[in-house]
């Protein structure tokens, strides 16, 4: 099986072109073994680029533990780059089918190759109402979440996949590695959740680290950055357009007055290879 290693702001996946070859038999198992950074190719998971009846391509995304997620923001930018650069569809606005619907993706091309990608991520779904809350508001912006003997004030936003956002004074390992794994499996989230920790720098800038459902800490999470930008606005902390600094790079997010969230960021191809296991 041929594969391509790609990343978006350091969030790295193994991509398989299912236009050129058949689908792997068991994607969850393949995701587990191929993502292993010591015994596999290494990555945050596996992404299949498949034909679609409704769009230019369909993305299927599997975390490093084999679980399938509805959406991947950094992944969809890389899928768009692959589809354009490899001439599956040479269009500057691509339609990509995901578990969160068909999304419209604009590519920014330099010297014939996609460098940056702007994605219409659709409208966020505000989920805090699912957690018992004592705070007023409809829907509630913040909800208390008991984790490891302390109460976090969290804002929950879905971008097709679920995110639980906590604003902190300083983003550090204690939050990401100490609290993140406990938030991921908290009983309030029967399908588990991605846990974002956000430090506000200014109304137009924030720092984010994430503990991802099914993959642990990653260098960036596109859907998480979008959800956090929405949470920043809802909590009166940020403007509708914000620059998000992540360990692997920067993403620009804009929650437009129309209600849709736009994400702009890089996409890069790193190397290609042949996986003998399939
Ligand atoms: N890193 C991704 C999100 C990947 C899926 C996530 N771990 C989940 O299970 O929902 C992104 O860039 O959005």
Q: What is the pLDDT of residue 141?
A: 82
Bridge partners (DSSP) of residue 105 are 94, 119
Does domain 2-115+266-274 fall under CATH 1.10.1200.10? My reply is no
C-alpha dist (Å) from residue 98 to 68, 73, 135, 153: 11, 10, 34, 31
Bridge partners (DSSP) of residue 144 are 153
Distance (Å) from CA 44 to ligand 1 centroid: 9
- C-alpha 232/C-alpha 226 separation (Å) is 10
- C-alpha 76/C-alpha 86 separation (Å) is 15
Q: Closest by alpha carbon to 251, among 56, 145, 121, 138?
A: 121
Q: What is the pLDDT of residue 137?
A: 52
Q: What is the pLDDT of residue 134?
A: 47
DSSP 8-state symbol, 130: G
Token pair listed for 104: 């419209």
Of the candidate CATH numbers 3.40.720.10, 3.10.310.10, 2.30.110.10, 3.40.630.10, the domain formed by 125-259 belongs to 3.10.310.10
Residue located nearest, by CA, to atom 3 of ligand 1: 72
- C-alpha 45/C-alpha 201 separation (Å) is 30
- Residues annotated in a binding site for substrate: 11, 63, 73-74, 161, 194, 212-213, 222-223
Q: Which residues form ligand 1's pocket by a CB distance below 6 Å?
A: 11, 63, 69, 72-75, 161, 194, 212-215, 218, 221-224
In the chain, which residues fall in CATH 3.10.310.10? 2-115+266-274, 125-259
Q: What's the predicted TM-score (pTM) here?
A: 0.96
CB 232 within 8 A of CB 222: no
Distance (Å) from CA 69 to ligand 1 centroid: 7
Catalytic positions? 72, 221
Per-block average pLDDT, block size 10, for the chain (278 residues)?
Answer: 98 98 96 98 98 98 98 98 98 97 97 98 80 53 90 94 97 98 95 97 98 98 97 94 98 96 98 89
Q: Which atom of ligand 1 lies nearest, measured to the CA of 161?
A: 10
Q: What is the pLDDT of residue 208?
A: 98
Q: What is the dihedral of CA 224, 106, 98, 233, to 10 degrees?
A: 30
Three-state secondary structure call for residue 46: strand
Helix (H) or strand (E) holding 157: strand 150-158
- C-alpha 171/C-alpha 134 separation (Å) is 26
Three-state secondary structure call for residue 271: strand
Q: Which parts of the chain fold into alpha helices (H)? A: 27-35, 73-85, 173, 180-184, 222-234
CB 212 within 8 A of CB 224: yes
Q: Which atom of ligand 1 lies nearest, measured to the CA of 75?
A: 12
User: Terminus-to-terminus CA distance in the chain, angstroms?
Assistant: 6
């Amino acid at each position: 099986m041929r594969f391509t290693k790609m990343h978006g702001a350091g969030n790295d996946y193994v991509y398989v072109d299912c236009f050129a070859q058949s689908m792997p038999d068991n994607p969850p198992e393949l995701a587990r073994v191929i993502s292993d950074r010591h015994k596999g190719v290494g990555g945050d998971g596996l992404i299949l680029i498949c034909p679609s009846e409704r769009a230019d391509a369909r993305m299927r995304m599997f975390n490093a533990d084999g679980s399938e997620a509805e959406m991947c923001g950094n992944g969809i930018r890389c899928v768009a780059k692959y589809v354009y650069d490899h001439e599956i569809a040479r269009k500057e606005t691509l339609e990509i089918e995901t578990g969160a619907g068909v999304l419209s993706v604009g590519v920014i091309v330099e010297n014939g190759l996609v460098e940056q990608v702007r994605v219409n991520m659709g409208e966020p779904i505000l989920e805090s109402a699912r957690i018992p809350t004592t705070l007023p508001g409809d829907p509630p912006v913040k909800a208390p979440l008991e984790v490891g003997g302390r109460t976090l004030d969290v804002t929950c936003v879905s971008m097709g996949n679920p995110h639980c956002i906590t604003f902190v004074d300083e983003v550090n390992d204690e939050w990401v590695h100490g609290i993140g794994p406990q938030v991921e499996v908290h009983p309030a989230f029967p399908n588990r959740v991605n846990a974002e920790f956000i430090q506000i720098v200014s109304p137009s800038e924030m720092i984010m680290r994430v503990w991802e459902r099914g993959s642990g800490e990653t260098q960036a999470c596109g859907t998480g950055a979008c959800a956090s930008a929405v949470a920043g606005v809802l909590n009166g902390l940020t403007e509708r357009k914000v620059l998000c600094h992540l360990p692997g790079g920067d993403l620009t997010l804009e929650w437009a007055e129309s209600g849709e969230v736009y994400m702009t960021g890089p996409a890069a191809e790193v190397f290609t290879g042949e996986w003998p296991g399939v």
